[in-house]
Structure 1
Amino acid sequence: MKSNVAIRGQFLDIQQLVEQAEHIAEQVRYLKDGLLLIQDGKISWFGEWQDGQQYVTDSFHVEHYPDQLIIPGFLDTHIHYPQTEMIGAYGEQLLEWLDTYTFPTEIQFQDRDHADKIAKIFIQELLKNGTTTALVFCTVQLQSVDALFEEAEKYNMRIIAGKVMMDRFAPEALLDTAESSYHDSKALIEKWHKNGRALYAITPRFAPTSTAGQLEKAGQLKQEFPDVYVHTHLSENKNEIAWVKELYPEQKGYLDVYHHYGLTGKKSVFAHCVHLEEQEWDCMHATNSAIAFCPTSNLFLGSGLFPLKTAWQKQVKLGLGTDIGAGTSFSLLQTANEAYKVQQLQGYSLSAFEAFYHATLGSAKALDLDDKLGNFNVGKEADFVVLDLNATVLQQLRQSTTKNIEEKLFALFTLGDDRNVFATYVYGQKVYQRE
């Protein structure tokens, strides 16, 4: 297969990071007839077809998508691959839900064959939904991490993941110790971090399920390997926050527990953050930590409404997350749809361009990957999605009434799902094509 690829079609991306939501529209780049040239997995040229066609030599494999819209690949900033099979589990809020559904499901990952089976389905679902990069929770078991990274490696896919660290308040079969979690995580970092496109995340489940000793070990790992990620949960549910205050009375609050152990920073991603206090917002900003906003999960578990406007005011990095399996869809189109509603309930109108930003370049920034991903700038890795805006009869009807690309995008986010993903490309190669 030719490693040089030329893609012609309609393109949409956000050219640059912004400080405030109102500046996003100024950075939108829409090419009605554009050309993307890819060499060895990276973007070598991008612009108007008429300006670039001279560079399309015989060495390029050419694909033309005249009727579709091509966008950067979606980045999912928080998702649990072991929970794929328990999506849509009924009736609980966070703490009860973990005991009733999550822990029994995760115990099964003691079996490597089971881990391989779920990892395969999980990666397929991501690609089918146009998600080309994800920050992923595995389970406590080491083989859950190996299974995921090995599956992603088949597609040369950028996945950030880690072994869960959890040494209390869970079934015996899911517990490690402070010492074993340190040694196991260290071995996995040495095996997988920066191996191909794989990246590692130190992953304490959340403050309640780790002793102070374990969080200290997590902090030690972060000191020893400063370029790995930290991925955990924060302030999702009010009962959870009260529990953290009981368990860690000497800290100023939930986030301060992580901060105290050296787990905040520019590669630290905290899922949810629905109920942050003022000083926690300030700490998030000061440490350059990031938030994964997971609307379908927050609604499904009744956790609360995330205040997106505050994230802009406090200048805190943010990306969208599906949070499978409390989240109810792998699709970041569906996630944006729910994000819009969550903001409507708080009197904030989430524009189509802002939602698009949070699912692409904003998420890349949250994952500290904006130098590599998130738009079509030359030199970036060629992860992108080809979208069919008219995948259903209803969508055809709705799109026929739209006047511009912003309206088209909003209709897509409101009505769209995996049926709209026509093709997904990872590192310049097509890895999924709709049947």
Structure 2
Amino acid sequence: MNEDMPGRKQGHPLILRADTRKKTRRIVFTITAVVVVLTVGFLVWSLRPIILPIIVGTFAAYICFPLLSLFLRIGIPRPAGILILFGAFFLAVMVIANQIGSIMPDEREWLVLRTRFQYKLNERYRNFMGLGESEQTGNIIYKYFGNDLNRFMDSINQVLHLNKEERLLFMKYRWGFQNKPRIKDRYYEYFLKNTESLRSEDEFKNGAFDEGKGKNGDLKKESNIAVVMEAIKLWIITPLVFLFLLIDDGEIKRFFVSLVPNPYFEVSLAVFDKVNGAIGNYLRGILIESLLVGISYLILLSIIGFELKFAVMIGLIAGIANAIPLLGPAIALAIGSSYALIAENVDSILPFITPDNLIIAVAACVLIVMIMDSALFQPFVVGGAVQIHPLAVFIGVIGGSILFGFAGLILAIPTIVVLKESISTLFRELKNYYII
């Protein structure tokens, strides 16, 4: 009986029109999705310089969302809570920037550090290879690999050599330029030793100071001002992103959920909430983990005899870089070994640590922090957020760095978190609602 009904017959115009509408919607949806993806990709690629400031502002907002919820629960109005968090964010940025500026070496210290590093590197190389002043002798390693190693050291020295302007500045600081302390005689001797292949000592003593006066300093100041202004223009976005996300109050979420068809509304809402919670937990866990890692480096490096200034600097940089897998330990080892190479006096509470074995002590510190991070910090602090396979982390970090550079390194893990939680939650909810 039903088969004879006009509306049910195969090929009836009503059925054909319904099928046509479905196909049309599917085509329109596919084309729209492709256009949106291509547009977003083009915008991301074109706006690469502002990606990192936006990411920092977004991360800071995610970290502060629980605090805003706490303020609301204890009776603080939302506008007042946002104002408190924004003021705290601005104050924290100013304090951190001031502290970083105070511990980072200035222009004079960078020149001295490069000079010391070059001299000590060449000295350690000669001692390790058994070379005398005439460089006519050498051990068995130098006998077989000396030519290749010499070329390698020459390339390093080309990088470390101070250029003309830097050598002139060194000579200025040698005699107390800009009311800075005079450079020690020992470091001046290192400087002369490093530059003896470029110029004679008399030329530096007689003409360098006068030649360095005038426009070089002015050009350098103008260049520094331009760099600072460019950085301000880029990073002014960060506090604005932070503020707008706190003010948002779910508008972005409601907009994207409203685009989802009704049959998938609850599924999309569950996916959005799950991803949102996972990202927030992950970022807060990473923040605490980075803080613990940085403090660990600070304590251990101070114990083995690092100056407090350099221990704080390495702890700060390595702690922040620890958010990117394997980058934190690599940076700590590289900077710590560089400092150990130029260290001449070690004031360690461990009597067996000397300048000769300080590099080994640095490697031991990095290994200890890596063990603490893997065994304690990650399982208890970050482990509750998401579990990501190490291979996925490695591929994601490498792929992100290739595609988007430094911003890709930072975005890699959060992107993997989003994809993992989205896919797992989506399939679970689709099964719960018997859609699949």
TM beyond 0.5: no
Q: TM-score, normalised by structure 2?
A: 0.22
Q: TM-score, normalised by structure 1?
A: 0.22
Larger radius of gyration: 2
Which structure: greater helix fraction? 2
